[in-house]
Structure 1
């Protein structure tokens, strides 16, 4: 029998040694442990499945119950005669057959328990997500750990209630491999009076990131996660824990007239020791040489402890400070993701190209931005992707060694032309050129969804989250992958991560609403979709989820009203494409013929994401229809 459970491992420490010293006391402690476990675990609705040596394995239906039980067990065992116990908890799928229990969830819970200290309770990130809002449970993050036979680093938390032992990370690190050769480049601080120089200091950070990602054997945290700490004064060790790195590069930039002073320092995250620091005073007209020089020196410092050669450095094609500043402003707007900001980004990138026509990266970013607008239905796809292709081709003509150009081509192949093999090849090339460009992994995940290879999609996005753990785009995309796999609780956890960053993030609320709705609670989802609609600030936008929810809750009049408003928006905004929204609402209403009509309209208009969203769980009824085969064939799948 397969089920989702909270798995609690408890193991008595020092039992063997105590048996040799005082067998009677050892047996008394073991008996006391057994009595406390059986009484407490039963009281919190758990079940002991196995005893093994001086340990036990229990399961609970609720992660919250499992943690409350663990806290009470440890608090009781503090009393005389004290019993030193380690506890580890994880939630996951388990398979129970007669008296045996097994599965990846069991293995991981066991590894977390072995990591714990006597008197401590360690829990996985999944358990933490369940208990984070429980006012009677305190926690402290210990960071990521490499655990034996577990492929990805695991984020671990310690329960910090009264009486529970909470170790420092250094005490735990001795039990496992610490992150090695993992670097975060924090945004260099603008020390100049002119706020315009903010883009300049960000540019130094960008250049360092681009250079250092090309050092073989070094894993560099992506831009989004590093920039999450911009303007904050977090402790270096805390940042290292959150980003799972062992080294941090930070610095500052001060401009005055035509001179610039750049300070950089490399810090060992475990103890805050400064491995290396340097200050550069240069004339502003050779700033690009300064960037190359700094990044080269730091790369060489890091390579001293690395084996293997670095890949050849990619030199930026820009030589003009004004063009570079416009480019950095464009990145600033592009990373905000909204349609309005994407259009601002396009203008900035075009200004950079006007000053420096051979600026390959700027051409690539214009291409990506137009492709984004076409994907979101904010422009007629034919127009958006044709422009995207033109700029991407120009970028690759100027320099085919930049990942950004290949990513832009992949977007057009994936979301417009449905050239699946070409999309895959372009993404592999982008990853080869720059492994930290998580946009490539994001697109690759959706490639796998379109090809109905959902486990591969999840795997790719989980890897991307390791590279860029604080990227809203990656967190959201992984949540979407979990929905495709019907792992709705995991999707809700991803949405909650985003809402912790920004409680009014529309895409996060929408992700959570879909997960809750598809899990079966459409009434609760409706409240969230109403909030999504409110946050759009427009009577005709943000209606798809609302329409589906109204239909699922039997409020057909309101669902049809959403249909009417979507049709009205299409009339008022002829450049927008809402056929995918209409297909979803008609599916919710239960009209399969109209659903198929609008799905075919999506294909006629080359609305690329249709290849992905027809893999959502509610579309199972569509897939059961004989017409589905023709639909897939039209997209070359």
Structure 2
């Protein structure tokens, strides 16, 4: 890959190498790596590779060229930690992947008890050296906030997190036990609550525990974490999930997800917004956000799965399958890809191949009904009535178990393939009445296409998702310009979208992104901005950003921030653009504006 396509403000932090024999030092190495990733992710305009992809290279010897090609970054950090009883030596190197040279190396000799200071110091040092090398970055005075717990307890916390991030059942349970002990000693420390919640949710999602049981166990830990620290990026992301999947309030879900994104850019936040857009049927916009998730975490199995899932929803089955298989290559225990590999084979007219595939499944896919449900779908497609009915009866036995979600999903899909529309709608209604999250993903399902015109089905979907694009009139595009009625309608719709989703807070927002939200071609939206607002794309979006800045700069929490920090928080990614556009719009500089309002 040539350097011309590489974002020069992009960096990966490879896992720090443990140079001691102590396993405890291993916990610290992983914790230090994560903290530096999180610290650098707070810097506006800096694309930081997420944890999953960084840790993919743990204990692997790699060259600068491999990092450039596989992670698509211009710079990476590698380091090591050597620890004795009362001394710790941390060596950090920064490597340019384009020209393959070490342009900075530093050794830090510190006491092991200075753990929080070390994390912040190294994070800031890296940021400063990076700025010297690649150009201006807006850096806060602190990147890592010290945690108000004794160092010994924080070390225990790192140990617990080390085990849960291994993502298997045995280590997750071991990690939860350690973290519960940490909570007992420091009940006001929010991190272990969030991590226990994460461990249970992961086990439920991956089929290592029944989903209902896992989420029920996770819930109280999440609620406590939110009570202790509602404003962290992780807390906001969890609130977004609750608002979407439990409360079915997409407007609030977007608000929390966008707030999480303001605090820290991370692939799972982009993936979450992609999920929400999928629920609404805005699949082009979902692809755009997933692009950003994959840029930050190209080795996250779930990101590749979701790319395949989106292509499946768009009925592009042959494109979907390689992404789904790539996800399984990265994480063979991920439970979702086998469902859609099999269904994609089925829906592309290969029922016998799909039946063989589902029949060959083992492990998680058997326990979570993928094998049973998939085979029953194949029998429905092949008109093998007796085998299909046997499968339906067996699936129905799971409706009163922890696998109720999966049982309903497969029963709905099987009956749709059998063309039992009334039965499908009865099942959807039952799922809706039980507030099962699966209802939200029935909305864009290609297998339910012929059920979607039924009034009962529409009513249920519109109750669950009031602004459901699947039930708006499909737009037919003509070569002529938009007429005055269309311009009026779309200008109102675009204004509402900008306010609801706060798209302008994304510094990388493009005309293509706007177009995907409106479900219009990009050239139509460009024309709409010119005719409806008398603005080009930059002028239109930056007007929102200036208004956001004017609102934020006068708030109490902005008093400790620089003008540019607030400008970046408002969606700008350039000091020159901000100053120029602000003066053009307001007739005065941002500094004069602030002073005049403070004097009043």
| TM-score for the superposition, normalised by structure 2 | 0.70
In structure 2, what is the equivalent of residue 609 of structure 1? 438
2:166, 2:405 → 1: CA distance?
A: 20
Q: Which has the higher contact order (CA 8 A, sep 6+)?
A: 2
Q: Distance in 1 between matches of 2:150 and 2:389?
A: 55
Question: Could you say which residue in structure 2 is the equivalent of 1:4?
Answer: none
Of stretches 371-380 and 413-422 in structure 1, the one that deviates more from structure 2 is 371-380
Question: Pairwise mapping of residues 526-565 of structure 1 onto structure 2 (< 5 A)?
Answer: 526-533=355-362, 536=365, 538=367, 542-565=371-394
Matching of residue 275 in structure 1 with residue 103 in structure 2:
yes
Contact 2:120 2:143 (8 Å CA) reproduced: no
| Structure 2 counterpart of 1:584, from 413, 416, 419 | 413
The answer (yes or no) to whether the contact 1:580–1:598 under 8 Å persists in 2 is no
Measured in 2, the distance between the counterparts of 1:539 and 1:452 equals 26
User: What is the match of residue 40 of structure 1?
Assistant: none
| Closer, same or farther: CA 481–345 of 1 in aligned 2, 3 Å | farther
SS of the residue 2:77 aligns to: strand
Query: Within 1, Cα distance between the matches of 2:199 and 2:253?
Result: 17
* 1:82-481 → structure 2 map (5 Å cutoff): 143=1, 172-173=2-3, 176-304=4-132, 305-311=134-140, 313-315=143-145, 317=147, 319-321=149-151, 323-325=153-155, 327-328=157-158, 331-332=161-162, 335=165, 346-369=176-199, 390-435=220-265, 437-481=266-310
| Cα separation, 2, equivalents of 1:392 and 1:569 | 28
* 8 A contact 2:116–2:144 mirrored in 1: no
Q: Is the Cα–Cα contact under 8 Å of residues 431 and 440 in structure 1 kept in the other structure?
A: yes
Alpha carbons of 1:459 and 1:539: their partners in 2 closer, same or farther (altered >3 Å)? closer
The 8 Å contact of residues 510 and 532 in structure 1, kept in 2 or not, is answered as: no
- The alpha-carbon distance between structure 1 residues 423 and 466, as it changes in their structure 2 partners (threshold 3 A), is same
Higher strand share: 1
Give the secondary structure class of the aligned counterpart of 2:57: coil
SS in 1 for 2:435: coil
Q: Do 2:79 and 2:90's aligned partners in 1 also have CA atoms closer than 8 Å?
A: yes
Once residues 237 and 70 of structure 2 are traced to their aligned partners in structure 1, the CA distance between those partners, rounded to angstroms, is 28
Q: Which consecutive unaligned segments of at least 5 residues does structure 1 have?
A: 1-142, 144-171
Q: Match for residue 519 of structure 2?
A: none
Residue 460 of structure 1 deviates from its aligned partner by: 1.0
Could you say which structure has the larger radius of gyration? 1
Matched residues in 1 for 2:91 and 2:178: separation?
A: 28
Aligned to 2:464: 635
Question: Could you say if the C-alpha distance between residues 634 and 588 of structure 1 is closer, same or farther in structure 2, counting changes exceeding 3 Å?
Answer: same
Mapped contact 1:213–1:219 kept (Cα < 8 A): yes
Aligned to 1:484: 313
Residue matched to 2:339: 510
Would you say how many aligned residue pairs link Structure 1 and Structure 2? 463
Give the deviation of 1:463 after TM superposition.
1.8
Q: Deviations over 1:249-292 (max 9, x none)?
A: 00112233343222111111123321111222222222222112
- Structure 1, 288-297 or 270-279: larger mean CA deviation: 270-279
Change (3 A) 1:334 1:515: farther
> For the Cα contact (< 8 Å) 1:361–1:404, is it kept in 2?
no
Question: What runs of 5+ residues in structure 2 fail to find an aligned partner?
Answer: 467-600
Seen in structure 2, the aligned counterparts of structure 1 residues 452 and 575 have a Cα distance that, compared at 3 Å, is closer
Match of 1:498 in 2: 327
Cα separation, partners in 2 of 1:608 and 1:318, compared to 1, 3 Å:
farther
> Does the 8 Å contact 2:35/2:144 carry over to 1?
no
CA deviation after TM superposition for structure 1 residue 391, in Å: 4.0
Pair 1:572–1:399, CA change in 2 (3 A): closer
Secondary structure in 2 matching 1:278: strand
